[in-house]
Structure 1
């Protein structure tokens, strides 16, 4: 009973079609025209009402069925037209509705073939049974354009729905890419900064009893670094962060100095695209973070130069080579660096010898 109540509540046609399908049912009044000049027969009127009661549910069902599932409804509608054609020229309405129902066949060739068969069958029946033009002309003159228009409209709607799904997929992929970008950036930001804070906190602990002034300085640096990290995290989440290479190089020098690592930098002066500069800055940050965490190095070398149409960046240290270089390469930091470099149209190579060496190649025209 509840299911029947929900069925009556509707919707009986897809909501995006609006109210028009309900209005099209008014064309069934063609059956009444005969009775303006012929006295109604009670049996005929009763059968006509029964036919309408059978047809209306099939009509609404045709909007929800597709392809083979729609064929029985289509054939039943044609059968009603064939049954009524000898008795009432309003039967042309059933053939017109059948032509419109062909839109449920998603392959255009099949839909147009079905329209042709319906109209051809109606014409053949009219010729064999000697039916009047009042039946044949409306069937052919209205059925053909209505059927073709319905098929074309259905194709347009299906194309629009497919395009909408594609757009939703693109938006979903874009959201995933944005989450990955934020994840990489947060890893680069927090990994580097927290390593620096940990080193400075350890140094402050060692200096606490020997040099209170130096301890206070280190604690002040920790506070400044934490505030700076908080600002960068906020900026990264909003997607507007751009890191300058010169600024990042200065921060790397300070961070390495706190860990007693000497930074030797050789940066060739040239105009660098903003995107390439940001990629290099984040790569330097990740490399310095790895040195602080794993290398136990005393020296770090950084060189940036232009070769032809490429920017070449070399970062290496003299520390302990990683025991499992493959695991290091699979880590979040280096994986994020590879993805960022690849997105800018460049490539990254990794060498583990006495220490760790990174080489980045970025095109001068890296797209934003």
Structure 2
């Protein structure tokens, strides 16, 4: 989303990396300014004595309020001080201007630490108390109620923003982990391909050179060498296919780790554990891992859940996987990737059942028979690798 001005690198907008929340919060906390001209007009009628300074203060406040989110965090105390001074100074002309003091306490929630926030609130309380005694002359109970509300609202907003900062740091950590994992995987692939093809290609080159020399002197021997080259090349091709299949194949353990990172980063608690016992055949585990990935993606994007879980039941005859959440439910039988999941399970000879009542969460039950697939998997693996 393009903004009319560039946010500062150390601004709240840049720290949270959540444009939707920042814009929504900024607009939501600035809506109250419409009451500044409405209340005095309804009580006293129109007069330039209160309307002109109110209109000017609204423009200044909107600028300061925007700077809280998009300006440098090192200047936050100046933005807050401006709101407090403007609210207390304008009170006699417009009593609603005390809302600027409340907004100042809320703006302090952008402080990077709880200690700085408490220090700022204490300074605002002291300034408000002095102004009440010397200038504003507001009933003490009005100021007390206003200040208690401002502190409670500001503290809750501070905790929420602090959690968003932690989520942003977690997302950066996950991105760095993925980058390092990709780098390590590339290095591993390079080493594997070097070890796998280096010797084989050297052997093919030597055999081919020998066959070229023997082509005229000893054709039968040259033909034998070329047959050996063909055998070595086919063996190398099979090894490369097996290696590529291993690189492309997903497994349930990796998908569970990815699911936990994705869901917990978005505030969804995740509970799962891998089944004990023998490992699944690769031709069975890979499609089930993709089904798990699609189901977790649906929970992340559509379920609006606060908790999710994956359970496994594994014996010699069958493998069951139950994926559930406590979200909004109402999952369509052929929507949100369900058709793709159903096709993968059906290709394994299994079944997919959906229980998704509205507002009561969703549960997917996947069952795959293992007895028949245990014999079919070895034969089908080379074909899939090709």
TM-score (norm. length: structure 1) = 0.58
Q: What are the within-5 Å matches in structure 2 for residues 2-151 of structure 1?
A: 7=4, 15-17=19-21, 18-31=23-36, 32-129=38-135, 130-133=137-140, 135-151=142-158
What is the Cα deviation at residue 237 of structure 1? 3.5
Where in structure 2 are there 5+ consecutive unaligned residues?
Answer: 249-386
Give the structure 2 partner of residue 259 of structure 1. Answer: none
Please list the CA deviations of residues 189-219 of structure 1 after superposition, one character each: whole Å capped at 9, or x if unmatched: 1111011112212332343334322221210
C-alpha distance 106-20 of structure 1, shift in aligned 2 (>3 A): closer
Give the structure 1 partner of residue 211 of structure 2. Answer: 204
User: Root-mean-square deviation (CA), in Å?
Assistant: 2.9
C-alpha distance 81-136 of structure 1, shift in aligned 2 (>3 A): same
C-alpha distance 88-179 of structure 1, shift in aligned 2 (>3 A): same
Q: Which structure is larger by alpha-carbon Rg, 1 or 2?
A: 1
2 CA distance for matches of 1:221 and 1:187? 22
What is the Cα deviation at residue 23 of structure 1? 3.0
2 CA distance for matches of 1:23 and 1:110? 24
Q: What are the within-5 Å matches in structure 2 for residues 1-368 of structure 1?
A: 7=4, 15-17=19-21, 18-31=23-36, 32-129=38-135, 130-133=137-140, 135-240=142-247
2 CA distance for matches of 1:155 and 1:119? 23
Contact residue 77 and residue 95 of structure 1 kept, 8 A: yes
Give the structure 2 partner of residue 354 of structure 1. Answer: none
SS at the partner of 2:4?
Answer: helix
2 CA distance for matches of 1:194 and 1:9? 56
1 CA distance for matches of 2:42 and 2:124? 29
2 CA distance for matches of 1:183 and 1:29? 64
C-alpha distance 25-107 of structure 1, shift in aligned 2 (>3 A): same
Where in structure 1 are there 5+ consecutive unaligned residues?
Answer: 242-368
Query: Which ranges of 4 or more aligned residues in structure 1 deviate by more than 6 Å?
Result: none
Contact residue 92 and residue 138 of structure 1 kept, 8 A: no
What is the Cα deviation at residue 89 of structure 1? 2.5
Please list the CA deviations of residues 158-196 of structure 1 after superposition, one character each: whole Å capped at 9, or x if unmatched: 111111001000000000000000000110111110111
How many residues are treated as equivalent by the alignment? 237
TM-score (norm. length: structure 2) = 0.55
1 CA distance for matches of 2:6 and 2:191? 51
Contact residue 92 and residue 136 of structure 1 kept, 8 A: no
